[in-house]
Amino acid sequence: MIDEVVWAGLEKAKAHKDFESGSWLTFYLAGQPENLRKSFPELKLMNAENLDGEEGGFLYPKIPVELERSDIEEKIMKVCSIADRLGLNNSIIDLDACPEVEQSKFFTLWTAAN
C-alpha cells in the first residue's frame, strides 16, 4: 500500500500556508461498530481525534503527523496494521491541514481504487 501513496500531495501540503500550523492524516475506516471501537485504545495512543460516529459502521480518525515522508509512512503502516487485525476496511487516506472535518484543506494521499 505504501508504494501506492501519491506523494505529490505531501509536496503540495509543504507549500500550502494552511499546513503551517500542523497536519493530520485522516483515515476513512469502515467495519462493524464493535471492531471500530476496539481500535480506539491504539488510535488514542497515536493522539487521534474524531473518534466518534462508529455506530453507523464508519470512523474517520485524524492523527497528527509531521510533513515528513517517514512519519507519514510510519503512521499509515500502524493504522493499516490495526485495521487489518480488526477486519476494518480503509478506503481513503487524506493529509489534512486541521482536525476540523468541515474546515480543513486536504490532499488525498491514497484511495483503495489506486
State the pTM of this model: 0.94
Per-residue pLDDT at 12: 97
A 10 A CB-CB count for 26 gives 23
Which residues of the chain fall short of a pLDDT of 70?
114
CATH of the domain at 57: 3.30.70
Asked if the structure places residue 38 within a domain, the reply is: yes
Asked if the structure places residue 110 within a domain, the reply is: no
Asked if the structure places residue 107 within a domain, the reply is: no
Cell numbers for 106: 486536504
Asked if the structure places residue 114 within a domain, the reply is: no
Handedness of CA 100, 101, 104, 107 (dihedral sign): positive
Task: Print the domain residue range for 14.
Answer: 2-97
Residue 12: which of 76, 90, 97 has the closest Cα? Answer: 97
Asked if the structure places residue 39 within a domain, the reply is: yes
Report phi then psi at 61, rounded to 5: -65, 140
Give Cβ neighbours of residue 19 (< 8 Å, ≥ 6 apart). 13, 67, 97, 105
The domain tally of the chain equals 1
